[in-house]
Structure 1
């Protein structure tokens, strides 16, 4: 299931008086997108690059501590941008999920960084990075006539990631007359990619729904206000980032207020795959150095990935049943 867009689901019936199932998801060893964003944001000590000695050898730069010991020189870094290739890798994976959901006529409804897992590496596609997997379909629904016309109760799981069609305010729909469609999934994908480019777990523009806002009210997203329905064009990336116009423009299209102005899932995937060859620096086919790894000082290196054995499975793992 390495190339699949969602984790494989396995299960078997359990003998109880009440029929039930025990479900097992495909093991995704590298955590979730929220973990990875946090690792890129957090301040940490990193070694400074090696320098070439007069004899031509590369040597580690060192500094003398107060106790007289020589230790490697380090710098404190934080808010390290994701390599653009990894952003495209995530964008493509989520677009594939959107296409699969369109085929199944499904609205996810809870698409956010904590629900995007990082599975095993795909040796044939962006091999140096884990494979993104969309999970948690607990709030998903089939887009039937009732859902499309919003005759179902106005509810959403992640208020900070709610699209215009699912926005609620004071217990009712925030905007009248909108329709739920497969482009609703596309809006949430655009917001997730924006979080990556801005190095944020969620955007303060949407945080007013869950508590006091940290930004000026005029900069918040309020779908009922025609002047505040979309993010400002300059607000799609962190000040440390310099992503390509192609990427920024496509993400902005996904987050259009009017669903008709967003690309369909199929069109989105086609546009992403057409732009990847010229925008990701060859990372779609790059396999790392001679050992298959990525040096710590390369921009394509993801910080703080979970180790493969961090959550053990098998004889040494503690198995806990939760019902």
Structure 2
């Protein structure tokens, strides 16, 4: 296949994916679908060469307001990728079933009953292991709400569906871009918060497989493709720490691996991971085939160097580094065995920086953490647990109160302070600028919390606020705004969908680019156009006859031949004169003007045209060639 599969399936194939809502009824994350709710959506939120992601909104039909959101991620995976869970992955499926995450992983088998040879999709397994069913537990990887396999006629691919939450604040890459455009640094408290969250995620990548799988005490999930665009941002949560900052979550674990120190694939540096070259840790590097005439580089680390938590730590350090220097697209580091470890470590700080690093804008402690994470020798890097324990001590020195600003405890303190003031004290009036900024970071708070916060009229220093990508986030925010209607009073989506339901094709099709190959039942299908005459409108369903309009004949308009009777069950009649329409050609002659209809391109229809008056016109001319045939319905290429 020359084109990416997502392009190969065409607009109508993509419309089928966007409009397919199977599995939504199986989601068990509160609030559960209940009476007077419905799912609305199929809004595209992302697309790549092998899949696309669509957003669905659970709507309260009494109020038309959103209750929750989910993203369905459809991925085409080549059939030669094994669907059997084996080795270190064989213990995971039972955990997915216990968490209610199997929505139909194996075609022909009930959810939870998939055979071992027919249920493995690595991205689902990795996210599923990291997903907790405890709503009060904090974790910072994108949770999995379910996965399934769909039947498709793209026989060289398996089509997998993942169900995940919608992250409406985009990702760290977009955050860097917005700050870069505004010539603003990202506030240091947010960087401490991000470092802490990502290290907590790294701890859980050790803890979750070791506790849940019972397969050893040194197993670890290594992300390998951790980068700015793979760290999503959720809306600020007023009930959590750092209430006005978006919360980071590690996404796209499809390139990750479950491994251990005694894993043969690890000890031989042959783990099947996916990664991006600019984010390659030293232990991930493998000598490639050099261009002709150039020398072959030797390994840059001892053969006993392994990939593990140390790799996650290095990539987290790389993420923090790019947040500091506002670099969206770092350059490759250029590891080479001719260089010393110190030289290669120095390269890490020289790869594509757009802002001098290190500098005095960020504290020595924060920059020191980043340097420790980016050490060249894996064993020299601190563990995630070590970093988190030290953040608890050092972090509050640099939080500047942002870890509690806007929380219930903070508001209670401010309310007590205001109550203790003399009654003659004039209350603070909210500043317009402060209110405008607050609209962005309080948008996902409850109305009660918003009103309470605005009444206090106390806002953080603007240097402590992140730059929100309001223009870029606006479309996603429309789906999550708790005060905005999702459907109109008739229950129809307010935001236009990119697909529609075609009655003739009995399926969802592209809203703009679909050309229906079938006629409406009861009417004929339009034929081609051009010299030689287009096909007429044929008869419709159950013998309803239609008048056929010919195209341009040799010297005039072709005749209006009688349409044939309908042909159940296809519901397509015979066409009139001219080049045939979707199914059959016709033979009608005559009409109100001179000339013949074009030749029929198909079987001869039963109806003959009625000769019309010539009115002194020249005699009919022989038919011309060159008409276009009607659209072939066999062109529909993709279906479930």
1:22, distance to aligned residue in structure 2 (A):
2.4
Question: Over alpha carbons, which structure has the higher Rg?
Answer: 2
Q: 2:363 matched to 1:244?
A: yes
User: Could you list the runs of 4 or more consecutive aligned residues of structure 1 that deviate by over 4 angstroms after TM superposition?
Assistant: 17-21, 153-156, 171-174, 221-224, 232-237, 288-292, 294-297, 306-309, 319-323
CA spacing shift, 1:147–1:120, aligned 2, 3 Å? farther
1:306, distance to aligned residue in structure 2 (A):
4.4
Residue aligning to 1:158: 276
- Give the alignment's TM-score, normalised by structure 1: 0.73
Which of 262, 267, 275 lines up with 2:386 in the alignment?
267
- In structure 2, distance between residues paired with 1:112 and 1:36: 13
The farther-off stretch of 142-151 and 262-271 is 142-151
Describe the SS at the equivalent of 1:180: coil
CA spacing shift, 1:135–1:152, aligned 2, 3 Å? same
1:241, distance to aligned residue in structure 2 (A):
5.5
CA spacing shift, 1:121–1:87, aligned 2, 3 Å? same
- In structure 2, distance between residues paired with 1:296 and 1:310: 27
Which of 163, 176, 184 lines up with 1:24 in the alignment?
163
- Listed as ranges, the matches of 1:50-65 within 5 Å are none
What is the number of residues matched between the two proteins? 275
Which of 276, 292, 305 lines up with 2:469 in the alignment?
305
- In structure 1, distance between residues paired with 2:362 and 2:276: 27
Q: Answer whether contact 1:102 1:265 (CA < 8 A) is retained.
A: no
- In structure 2, distance between residues paired with 1:309 and 1:223: 48
Residue aligning to 1:50: none
The farther-off stretch of 138-147 and 295-304 is 295-304
CA spacing shift, 1:237–1:83, aligned 2, 3 Å? farther
The farther-off stretch of 188-197 and 256-265 is 256-265
Describe the SS at the equivalent of 2:330: coil
Describe the SS at the equivalent of 1:299: helix
Residue aligning to 1:93: 197
Residue aligning to 1:212: none
The Cα offsets for residues 221-253 of structure 1, whole Å up to 9 and x where unpaired, read as: 546621422137987993476111111111111
1:20, distance to aligned residue in structure 2 (A):
5.9
Select the structure that is richer in strand: 1
Describe the SS at the equivalent of 2:255: coil
User: Can you give the 5+ residue segments of structure 2 that lack an aligned partner in the other structure?
Assistant: 1-134, 210-219, 290-297, 408-429, 442-458, 480-485, 487-492, 500-507, 509-638
1:303, distance to aligned residue in structure 2 (A):
1.9
CA spacing shift, 1:15–1:138, aligned 2, 3 Å? closer
The farther-off stretch of 247-256 and 8-17 is 8-17
Q: Answer whether contact 1:13 1:21 (CA < 8 A) is retained.
A: yes
- In structure 2, distance between residues paired with 1:37 and 1:242: 16
CA spacing shift, 1:121–1:92, aligned 2, 3 Å? same
CA spacing shift, 1:234–1:141, aligned 2, 3 Å? closer
- Listed as ranges, the matches of 1:103-118 within 5 Å are 103=207, 104=209, 105-118=220-233
1:192, distance to aligned residue in structure 2 (A):
0.5
CA spacing shift, 1:20–1:282, aligned 2, 3 Å? same
CA spacing shift, 1:106–1:12, aligned 2, 3 Å? closer
The farther-off stretch of 251-260 and 13-22 is 13-22
The root-mean-square deviation of aligned C-alpha atoms, in Å, is 3.4
1:168, distance to aligned residue in structure 2 (A):
2.6
1:7, distance to aligned residue in structure 2 (A):
1.9
The Cα offsets for residues 48-99 of structure 1, whole Å up to 9 and x where unpaired, read as: xxxxxxxxxxxxxxxxxxxxxxxxxxxxxx2x11110010011011101100
- In structure 2, distance between residues paired with 1:168 and 1:156: 13
Residue aligning to 1:218: none
